[in-house]
Structure 1
Amino acid sequence: MPALTAYVRGVGVIGPGISDWFALQAVFAGHAALASAPTAIPPLAVLPAAERRRVGNVIKLALATGLQTVAAAAADASSLATVFASSGGDGANCHAICETLASDDRLISPTRFHNSVNNAASGYWGIATGAQAPSSIICAYDGSFAAGLLEALVQAISEQRPVLLIAHDAPYPEPLRAVRPIADAFGVGLLLTAQASAAGQAQITLALTDETVNSLANAPLEALRQGIPAARSLPLLACLARLQRHAETGRVVLDYLDDVRLAVSVKAAP
């Protein structure tokens, strides 16, 4: 695969003890410790009341992360193509459907059914923002963030348009949690463009590699990286934070496939 280059125009992140990109940057810089607190997902006033009642935490997390990213980039959400990446979609909704199917009353509500598909977050994003641009959904187990990043860059470059990547994961309830433990909810958003602009924060270049994946020296952040698939993005976010703080270039290797990883080089946008 030839190297692919694009530009990061905005970043958003929500996770355990992390309210936004600024809070995470403070942790990376050593100005604050990672708070020992569960993920707090902001309320979604952008959805009509009926839709707000129907959606679960996975969709709320995806939309809140996307809106935070769009706000950071001062972009128009309704005009953006999107890529949603999740390692397993809405596990809580899947659990509820399985409980119903195992009961005497096996009738599944229409809301449960349409929320069970992996593109539910994309559909609710369209309702919330009015977006009618193309939207893709990626699922690649623990490599879902890297797969989504690769897909988003390919689209941004080939279509010559901004693409919003939203990677998100949330815990499964028991008994699914026992076989697929996810520590907490985590969402990360990147708005990517094919061309540099005054608003661009960084230039990133992707290439495939068989090198070892980067870990984090900060133990609580490394536990997040290992414990939540979407948090496999943290080494890249740390690299972006160093660039923003010290104009320091960098390169990280992220989880992707069993025998192929994703190398990401970061430098200042021209």
Structure 2
Amino acid sequence: MGKQEWYLEYEIHINRPGLLGDVASLLGMLSINIVTINGVHGSRRGMLLLCDNNEQIERLSTILQTMDNITVTKLRQPKLLDRLAVRHGRYIQRDADDKKTFRFVRDELGLLVDFMAEIFKEKGHKLIGIRGMPRVGKTESIVAASVCANKRWLFVSSTLIKQTVRSQLIEDEYSEDNIFIIDGIVSTRRANERHWQLIRELMRLEATKVVEHPDIFIRHTEYTLDDFHYIIELRNDPNEEITYDIIEQPSLFGNDGFSDFDF
């Protein structure tokens, strides 16, 4: 059996000098290597560890329970969120009631891009929704994450540079390695049946699809939020309300109420 990775996270009650050295020395005596270490939230510290067998981790757990200054909060094989917490030194905010909803603010764009890039690297069908007000960085983050994941991105509908509404793709664009980006507002307000036929084809493809404004998208389609694997919310600040009232006012933006909402 090869080496195994584990994630250790503990809360510090009394941050006395030498505490980290004590933990590091303990790991060294047990022949457990520290791969990465970082503060992850307040007084919590996270570590990615590398060891040879489970017995080392069992012994580590037993000894850590006797230490008065810390409390172990997690000791498990690392999940994606664990790796990102150690890498960036902060937690990703997750909805307490809806576990597939993740929240970011604009100064966490690096963390958001890293998070999406890891999802994009996964094989198979993935449907991701991203909510946010105009100019907050939704489309740019999707493109940047595609680059980080070494994936090609394709706009099925978008307003990033100019309004895009695709009704067909050429043969090599159907690759399962591509990231397909759909703007829910553009698709529901400007598209024809050929465009929706293309979207249905893409939904059956074993590839990643990202839908901006998923709440608008599901109003006019057979899809629901239950079909989404991840919902990402991006705000300028934690208290910002994400609302679509601006596109519900036809008198302001023409007959169909559509504006360059996402520019």
- Give the TM-score category using the shorter length: under 0.3
TM-score, normalising length: structure 2: 0.26
Higher strand proportion (structure 1 or 2): 2
Tell me: higher relative CO, structure 1 or 2? Use CA pairs within 8 A at least 6 residues apart: 1
Higher helix proportion (structure 1 or 2): 1
The higher radius of gyration belongs to: 2
